[in-house]
Each structure stands twice: as C-alpha cells, then as structure tokens.
Amino acid sequence: MELIELQNICKTYHLGELEVPVLKGISLSVKQGELVALMGASGSGKSTLMNILGCLDHPTSGRYWLEGREVSGLSADERAFLRNRTIGFVFQNFNLLPRTSALDNVMIPLCYTSEELTDHEARERAVSLLTRVGLAGRFHHEPSQLSGGQQQRVAIARALINMPTMLLADEPTGNLDTHTSAEVMRLFQELNRDDGITILIVTHNPEVARYAGRVIGISDGVLAEGEPLQHAQNSVS
C-alpha cells in the first residue's frame, strides 16, 4: 500500500519581488513499512520536502496523498490533528523541554490528543516506550542529565507515543558522534522491522543513508532516486 504519494509537488518562496523555486515538481511514493533515506546537500530542498511531508507546510502546487487521503489542501487545525495522530517527528537538536523529566517529555503530544487516556494509561505507555528505546531507569532524568544519544532516544519515544504510522527524522544523527549515531540508526531499523513503522530520514550523511532500505536523492529541487545500498544492510545484519 502506498503510504505517501507525491504528485508534481512544487514549492516557491517569495523573498520580496524575488521568486525562489525550492522544489520543482517532485513525484514520489513511499510504501507502508519502508525505511527511506532522503539525501541531498544543504540547499537542495530536502528540508522543505520534509516539512511538506510532515504536514508542517503546504506545497505551492501539486498534490499529496497521505494514507490515501489528499492532504495538501487541509486547514492548519486539520494538519495539526494529522501531525498528532499519524506522524512522529525526530529533530536534529532533539527539542526536548528543559527542566522536564524524560517521562513528561515523552507525554507532551498526549496533551493535544483528543483520545481519552487516564493519567495512569498515559504514564504506562510512556514507560513502555522509554523501556523500548533502552532508557529503563532513566524516567525521571532531565535532558541536561542525559547524553546526546539518550536525549535522541527520548525524542524517538516521544515521536512514538501516539502510535504514528510514519516517523520523520530530520538529521537525527546530526548532533551525535559516530558510535551513538550507529546506535540510533539501529534503533530506527528495529522499529521499522519489528513494528512496521514507515520511517523517513533526511540526511546529508551517506553513512546514515546506508541503514535505509531505499535512498532518494534530491538535488536542486528535483529527485534523483538511487538503489538501496546493499552493503550497509549487510553490515547491520
């Protein structure tokens, strides 16, 4: 099943009189359960594409189906709802709330969920997710007391709290050393394999892209799709 279907997506920014086309007609489809790396140099438009995929922004033209539903024309509130239920975000700089425990950080998206969860259920879910990402016993640590890798794991747990169908990771290893990066990427692979979560990773690092089942290159606002990097798959398994 096609989870994501992009058809001729264009995005143009207006800087005063100047029109800056960033995405120039991108068509793309991602199946349920894929682990895709979106690669490109900085300025290639990958972040813009990511924002559109994450329903943070809408395209200037073109159509976008998410789970078979046209979403390019949704209102801001509808997109917020979609982000809350369908998409999990992982950021380069983690974006955890300071002076807030790991547990509370993980539970932030639940504030905006209409689903009725008791405090107890919410807590249990957060505890099991933190355990899942390997942070059992660090529930009450604040971000400043956690290492970069641990912080990113908290962020991943937070992205998973509403059981999204897709994870969007924007340079998830950008602030991490090689060793920790590998750990985080392996975690992504596990989540993809065991839970069938579709994961899109935006990166400019080929090392990271090796973990992906499929690499989509983007350069200058157009796609340059490449083959899955087989040897990375082998090195992990």
Q: Under the rule (CB under 8 A), what is the footprint of another protein?
A: 51, 54, 56-57, 76-77, 80-81, 83-85, 89, 91, 93, 95, 97-100, 104, 108-114, 116, 158, 162
Nearer to another protein, 81 or 139 (CB): 81
Residue ranges with strand state E in the chain: 2-15, 18-31, 35-39, 61-66, 69-70, 87-90, 166-170, 198-203, 214-219, 222-225
Cα 125 to the center of its chain, rounded Å:
20
Nearer to another protein, 27 or 93 (CB): 93
Q: Smallest distance, Å, CB 81 to another protein?
A: 7
Q: Smallest distance, Å, CB 159 to another protein?
A: 8
- Three-state secondary-structure class, residue 8: strand
Between the alpha carbon of residue 34 and those of residues 100, 206, 234, the distances in Å are: 33, 18, 17
Nearer to another protein, 1 or 76 (CB): 76
Q: Smallest distance, Å, CB 104 to another protein?
A: 7
- Two tokens at 113? 């969920």
**Residue 221 to residue 167: CA distance in whole angstroms:** 22
Nearer to another protein, 51 or 180 (CB): 51
Q: Smallest distance, Å, CB 48 to another protein?
A: 9
Q: Which residues in 86-123 are b (16+ Cβ under 10 Å) and which e?
A: bbbbbbbebebeeeebbbbbbbebbeeeeeeeeeeebb
**Residue 160 to residue 59: CA distance in whole angstroms:** 26
Q: Smallest distance, Å, CB 144 to another protein?
A: 12
Nearer to another protein, 143 or 213 (CB): 143
Do the beta carbons of residue 61 and residue 176 sit within 8 Å? no
Nearer to another protein, 79 or 210 (CB): 79
The half-sphere exposure of 72 on its side-chain side, counting CA atoms within 13 A, is 16
Q: Smallest distance, Å, CB 116 to another protein?
A: 7
In the DSSP assignment, the letter for residue 210 is T
